[in-house]
Amino acid sequence: MSSDSRFSFAPRDDRKAVESGLHFAPKFDADGLIPAIAQDAETGEILMVAYMNEESLRMTLECGEGVYYSRSRQELWHKGKTSGHVQTVKEVLVDCDQDALILKVIQHGGGACHTGYKSCFFRKVAGEGHPTPLDQVYTDKGFDPDKVYG
């Protein structure tokens, strides 16, 4: 990340300052990642859970759109650059020990999930069994992933 970034992170050497102070000191895990929950800014609905590294977090803060780190592809992932389903970030919340984030976003396009649904959480646990069954929460897709992603 370039040194001319408008955003810098505070040190994490004082637990009290991290937990109750007013300086952003995100705690990245051993892999350099922090979980980020994307939440619809208007409805409060959880859209997806992803991870950010230091570079993607800075990029998100700088450009105002969701930029994540893809663990499976091992690369930065600017949400919506391929599909057009960009997330405009309205607010970033950090938890008490600064090891998890909530991004309140405006989700553009047909949905947040690469499968075509509004939310990645389109199923719920339906009851007991082996294997435990799931029910659909959403039945209508907002877009056809085969047409969007090929």
CB within 8 Å of 103: residues ≥ 6 apart: 36, 37, 38, 39, 60, 66, 87, 89, 91, 92, 93
pTM: 0.91
> Which DSSP string do the residues of 50-72 spell out, in sequence order?
EEE-HHHHHHHHHHSB-EEEETT
Could you give the 3-state DSSP secondary structure of residue 110? coil
CA atoms within 13 Å, Cβ hemisphere of 6: 6
High-pLDDT (> 70) share of the chain, %: 97
State yes or no: pLDDT of 1 exceeds 50.
no
Mean pLDDT across the stretch 65-82? 96
> What is the C-alpha separation between 48 and 66, in angstroms, rounded?
11
